[in-house]
Amino acid sequence: MSTADMTAAPAAAHVTVEAAVRAQLSKALGGKRGIVEAAVPTIVFTGMWVATSELKPSLIVSIAAAVALLLVRLAQRSTPQFVLNSLVGIGIGAFFASRSGEAKDVFLPGILYNGAYAAGMLLSIIVRWPIVGFLIGSVTGDPTAWHSDSALVRLCSRLTWLLMLPCLIRVVVQLPFYWAGQVTALGIAKIALGWPLQVAGLAAMVWVLARGRTPLQPAA
């Protein structure tokens, strides 16, 4: 197979933009298992904090849970990407909390991450280079060709709004709890606004995608 054929193959697998975006989103999130694995360390930390009100044991048990999930992935020889993401997240939170001695700082990196992510996506919409468009570019092999089609830009802007909203809601809800030092409420909010909110956002995106059939190749 030639290089040109290899480049064209992924694009040929998806006739419409909607199909391409659905496939890329599923791959990026790691499916149901990836979503659950991302939530486990927070659930364990919150449960330990409610039971003990001790920072160090809560951090140790939550990190141990993430390591256990990683070992299962390695034993099954499946991709550890999503467990590693979770482990890095709880590791950074543990670093923040151990430096300050405040349990609430376990959640600060997540709040900052969601705020930065929402701001970045909003900026991409404002400048008319919505982030979701680059998912299309990763399929077609040309990262910017989609931008020449105004219909694609509009579709990708709508999808980027839907991808941004969960991040924005997390910041708006969790930040007051963080300022008030409500660790248990932060943990509950993070769990409730984690995969359930993400699934709701993705369901809205799937609904938008299911209604349209925008050709994958930009119009001439």
pLDDT tens track for 17-36 = 566 666 656 665 556 677 77
Which of left, alpha, beta for 12 (phi over 0: left; psi -120 to 50: alpha)?
Answer: alpha
**H/E stretch holding 15:** none
DSSP state of 16: B
Q: Report the mean per-residue pLDDT for the chain.
A: 79
pLDDT tens-digit map of 201-216: 777 877 777 765 555 5
pLDDT grade for 7, boundaries at 50, 70 and 90: very low
Report pTM: 0.72
What are the helix (H) ranges across the chain?
3-12, 17-29, 31-52, 55-76, 81-100, 108-126, 133-140, 150-180, 183-192, 195-211
Query: Does residue 115 surpass a pLDDT of 80?
Result: yes
**Those residues with Cβ within 8 angstroms of residue 203's Cβ, 6 or more apart along the chain or in another chain:** none
Query: Does residue 5 surpass a pLDDT of 70?
Result: no
Are 87 and 70 in contact, with CB atoms under 8 Å apart? yes
